[in-house]
Amino acid sequence: MRYRLWQFWQMVRARPLSAEAYVAVTAVLTEAQLALFNRFSPNDQWHSYRVMWSLQATGHDQPDLLAAALLHDIGKTKLPISVWERSLIVLGQTFLPGKAAAWGQAEARGWRRPFVVKFQHPAWGAEMARQVGCTPLTISLIRRHQDRLAGRPLTEEDELLQHLQWADDRN
């Protein structure tokens, strides 16, 4: 609950990225990828920056991982949702996880719209990343960023995915 309140507060008080944070972002993304990143709201830019920063602070410098950290939620810009809709998603996933997942496969209309964005944004984001020239690994990490591994990582990509999810969950 404390974490969710912190997230809500971050959304409400979000300001544009600092010059220092923006320079760190530009060091990772190409011009076309940066144009995509700039579609984010200030809150989402800060979230993505914090995900990347958390990875870098723990010694991760793999370029595809850092690009995926910055763009993993870009699919949400296809159908932006409000703070209240984000709250609805949290409630749905907490109290009715099976139904929330089913609602996420519906048409993006009415009260189900935020659930569709929640569950479909990884695929949308992967396609958007492909269109701006991201590497296949970055695209795959974006597409899979909500998919939890069933066991131990079997590939380097699985390991990178676990690191991305760890940083995303912290931020």
Q: Minimal CA–CA distance to 50: which of 14, 84, 75, 83? A: 14
For every residue of 99-146, DSSP letters joined together read HHHHHTTS-S-GGGHHHHHHHHHHHHHHHHHHHTT--HHHHHHHHHTT
Q: How many domains does the chain fold into? A: 1
Cβ contacts of 143 within 8 Å, gap of 6 or more: 122, 123, 125, 126
Residue-number span of the structural domain to which 58 is assigned: 2-170
Indicate which CATH number applies to the domain containing 85: 1.10.3210
- Per-position pLDDT tens, the chain of length 171: 565 555 555 555 668 999 999 999 999 999 999 999 999 999 999 999 999 999 999 999 999 999 999 999 999 999 999 888 988 998 999 999 999 999 999 999 999 999 999 999 999 999 999 999 999 999 999 999 999 999 999 999 999 999 999 999 999
pTM (2 decimals)? 0.90
